[in-house]
Amino acid sequence: MFEEIQVKKALNKIKETSRLTLPFQWDLNIYRGCEHGCNYCYAIYSHSYLEKDESSSSEKEKYSGFFRKIYVKTNIAEALEKQLAARSWRKEVINIGGVCDSYQPAEAKYGLMRKVLALMIEYKNPITISTKSDIILRDYDLLKELSELTYVNIAVTVTTMDEKLSSLLEPLASSPKKRFSVLQAFKDTAATTGLHMMPVLPFLTDSHENLEQILSRAAECEVDYALPSLLYLRGETRKHFFNFLSCNFPELLDPYRKLYATGGVDRAYKAELYMTLGILMEKYHHSADYLKPAKTKLSRPKQLRLTDFTEDYF
Ligand code: SF4
């Protein structure tokens, strides 16, 4: 179900502390709520449906609002143009879809990204996009054009190569194969690309075989960086994910309770997984330095304003 809304601002400044480690300063989200329905979604907490649906009879109903009722910011382009045209605007990097995927199925109907990208081209504004959908290929022409004018980074998230598992974990996102077709396509543009292998889910997607398949396919797509990270289970995400486990993988409930006694995963597990990932990253010549493409491509460092990058993965 879609609900069309009007916004005064398209861009939101990200927190000062996050700006030190992220290659962007602003967030732009066209949609609130996300149809992809990922059962590990961290954005669930950010949604006002939680308040609205408190009266729902079950946990499942309560969270389904985030995945099924989508607020659509139909005047996003007008609001964006006001901000980009302001004299004070410094052409800083904008992260598109950082909270809710901008290429979720609603975008096929609304086509708002094409208006947003047309403005980015007009104002030559650097952007980064992360998605789990091949709907982004519809905008290949605009993204190619923008990448020839300024910094464009396209990151695709892949958690598993197993299509069946993916359709359980991320029901309405594109299949892993289609997601890799996005990375493959943008290889031939001036855009940089990244693989987000996040989150890695213990006992579900952490097999050596799965991790190696993803990283080797990413190497074929010549991604500029590959960024793995482990599942965190806090707050609403924790409740929702445990509910998902009890419906689909009840045998994993106890192992997960042990591994996630707190929000973060058990330290010994984490150390072992990162060791495996380190070996595979080296084997496939991947860098986890997701800031390097932006530093290399942006003509004015002010657009990025970062402190030195410190690698905390490997
Ligand atoms: S694509 Fe991202 S925002 Fe959308 S449901 Fe999945 S994790 Fe949540």
pLDDT tens-digit profile of 116-141? 999 999 999 999 999 999 999 999 99
- Is 41 a pocket residue for ligand 1 (Cβ < 6 Å)? yes
pLDDT attached to residue 69: 92
Sheet containing strand 11-13, strands side by side: 11-13, 26-28, 94-96, 127-131, 152-157, 192-200, 225-230
Q: What is the DSSP string of 197-222?
A: EEEE-TTTT--HHHHHHHHHHHHHTT
**Ligand 1 closest atom vs CA 37:** 5
Query: What phi-psi label fits residue 285: left (phi over 0), alpha (psi between -120 and 50 degrees) or beta?
Result: left
Nearest alpha carbon, ligand 1 atom 8: 41
SS3 161: coil
Q: How many CA atoms lie within 13 A of 103 on its CB side?
A: 23
The string of pLDDT tens digits covering residues 255-274 is: 999 999 998 999 999 999 99
Does 23 sit behind a cis peptide bond, omega within 30 degrees of 0 on the bond before it?
Answer: no
Phi and psi torsions of 268, nearest 5°: -65, -40
Comparing 304 with 184, which gets the higher pLDDT?
184
**Ligand 1 closest atom vs CA 36:** 5
User: Alpha-carbon distance 10 to 57, whole Å?
Assistant: 35
The string of pLDDT tens digits covering residues 285-294 is: 999 998 888 8
**Ligand 1 closest atom vs CA 66:** 5
Ligand 1 centroid, distance to 135 Cα (angstroms):
15
Ligand 1 centroid, distance to 100 Cα (angstroms):
6
Q: How confident is the model at residue 63 (pLDDT cuts 50, 70, 90)?
A: low
> Hey, what amino acid is at 43?
A
pLDDT attached to residue 252: 98
User: Alpha-carbon distance 87 to 84, whole Å?
Assistant: 8
> How many other β-carbons are positioned within 10 Å of the β-carbon of residue 141?
10
The string of pLDDT tens digits covering residues 214-249 is: 999 999 999 999 999 999 999 999 999 999 999 999
- Is 94 a pocket residue for ligand 1 (Cβ < 6 Å)? no
Q: How confident is the model at residue 166 (pLDDT cuts 50, 70, 90)?
A: very high
Q: What residues contact 37, with CB distance under 8 A and at least 6 apart?
A: 67, 170, 171, 172, 173
User: Alpha-carbon distance 227 to 222, whole Å?
Assistant: 14
**Ligand 1 closest atom vs CA 173:** 1
pLDDT attached to residue 20: 61
Percent of the chain exceeding pLDDT 90 equals 79
Average pLDDT value for residue range 169-173? 98
Average pLDDT of the chain to the nearest whole number:
90
- Is 106 a pocket residue for ligand 1 (Cβ < 6 Å)? no
